[in-house]
C-alpha cells in the first residue's frame, strides 16, 4: 500500500493506506484522533471541520493522497497549541457561554468559528449576523444562539 505523509497537530505522520481513503477516517480510524466527528460523510453537517494550513476544511471530503508532506492539519485536539495556551480563546468563550449540550458537534463548531473569525479579520471587518447565518455546522441540540454569542466573545479575544 502507498504511504502518505503530512503533519497533524504539529507532528509529522505517515500512514500506509489507499490514497482515496478520506482524511477523516485516516485521522479517526488509523491515527486515533477522534475530535473530528462523523455526522454525514458528504461535507454537509460540518461536524468534522478541522484546519488545513489554517483554513477550515472538512476531512470527510479530502482523499489522503491530496495532502503534501508539508501540509499542516489541525484538529480540535491541536487548536490550543496554535496559541500556545491551555485553551484557545474560542474554546474559553465556549466554556464562558456554556455552549455545549451533547457536545458532539462542538469540535467542528469551534474550528469553523476560529476560521471564520480569522477570515473576517483578514478582510479587516468584524463578524456580522450574515457571517453567522452563513455557518453551516449542524447542532441538533439547537444551541445556535449560544454559539453566536460565544463566537462574538471569542473573536474579541483572538
Partner 1 sequence: MSGTLGRRRFLGYVLAAPTLVAVAGPGPTAAAQLPSPEITEILDLNDLMTVAALPTANLIAVEVNPDGTVSFALPRAEVGQGITTSTAMLIAEEMDVPLERVRVTLAGARPELVFNQLTGGSNTTIATYTPVRVAAAIARRRLLDAAASRLGSPPRELTLTAGVVSDRRGGSVAIGALATAAAATRTEPVSVRLRPREQFTVIGTPRNRIDALAAVTGRKKFAMDLDVGDAKPTMVCRPPTINGAVGSVTNLAQVRALPGVTDVAVISTGVAVRAETFGQCIDAVRALRVSWKPGTVEGTSDDTVLRRLRAAELPIGLPPPTPTVEGRFTFYFRSNSALEPNCAIADVRADRAEVWSALKSPIVAQQSIAAKLRLPLSRVTVHVTEGGGSFGRKLFFDAALEAAEASKAMGKPVKLMWHRADDSRQGRTHPMCTSRVRASYLGDTVLGYHQRHTSVTTDLGHGLGEIITATAARLPVGDIGFAGTFFQLSQTMSYDFGVSTRLLSETGRGFNTGSMRNVYSPDVTCARELIVDQLAARMGKDPYEFRRDFLRDDRSRAVLERAAEAGGWGRTMPEGTAQGIAFHAEYKAVSAALVEIDCRPETVGRPVRDGVAGPRVTRVVFAVDVGLAVNPRGLEAQMLGCISDGIALALTSSLHLRDGHFLEASWDNYFYTRQWNIPPEVRIIVVPSTSEEPGGAGELGVAASMAAVACAYGRATGTMPTSFPINHQTLSFEPKPTVPPVPESPVDGLDHAR
Interaction residues for partner 1, span 113-132 (CB under 8 A): 115, 119, 129, 132
How many Cβ atoms are within 10 Å of 79's Cβ, its own excluded? 22
* Residue 5 host element (H or E): strand 3-8
DSSP label at residue 82: G
Number of shown-chain residues binding partner 1 (CB under 8 A): 78
The nearer residue to partner 1, 47 or 155, going by C-beta atoms, is 47
Minimum CB–partner distance for residue 13 and partner 1 (Å): 15
Q: What is the phi-psi region of residue 56: left when phi exceeds 0, alpha when psi lies from -120 to 50, beta otherwise?
A: beta
Residues 21 to 60 in contact with partner 1, rule: CB under 8 A: 21-26, 28-30, 32, 34-45, 47, 52-53, 55-60
Q: Say which residues have a Cβ less than 8 Å from residue 121's Cβ, sequence separation at least 6.
A: 155, 158
Minimum CB–partner distance for residue 4 and partner 1 (Å): 13
Residues 54 to 83 in contact with partner 1, rule: CB under 8 A: 55-63, 66, 75-77, 80
Q: Is 20 a residue that touches partner 1 (CB under 8 A)?
A: yes
Minimum CB–partner distance for residue 71 and partner 1 (Å): 10
CA distance 117 to 148: 12
Amino acid at each position: 500500500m502507498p504511504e502518505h505523509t503530512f503533519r497533524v497537530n504539529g507532528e509529522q505522520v505517515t500512514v500506509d493506506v489507499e490514497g482515496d481513503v478520506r482524511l477523516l477516517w485516516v485521522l479517526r480510524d488509523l491515527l486515533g484522533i477522534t475530535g473530528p466527528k462523523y455526522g454525514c460523510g458528504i461535507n454537509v453537517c460540518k461536524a468534522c471541520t478541522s484546519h488545513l494550513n489554517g483554513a477550515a476544511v472538512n476531512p470527510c471530503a479530502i482523499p489522503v493522497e491530496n495532502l503534501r508532506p508539508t501540509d499542516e492539519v489541525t484538529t480540535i485536539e491541536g487548536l490550543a497549541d496554535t496559541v500556545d495556551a491551555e485553551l484557545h480563546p474560542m474554546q474559553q468563550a465556549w466554556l464562558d457561554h456554556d455552549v455545549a449540550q451533547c457536545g458532539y458537534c462542538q469540535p467542528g463548531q469551534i474550528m469553523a468559528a476560529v476560521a471564520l473569525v480569522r477570515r473576517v479579520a483578514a478582510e479587516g471587518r468584524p463578524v456580522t449576523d450574515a457571517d453567522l447565518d452563513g455557518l453551516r455546522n449542524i447542532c441538533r441540540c439547537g444551541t445556535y444562539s449560544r454559539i453566536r454569542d460565544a463566537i462574538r466573545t471569542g473573536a474579541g479575544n483572538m
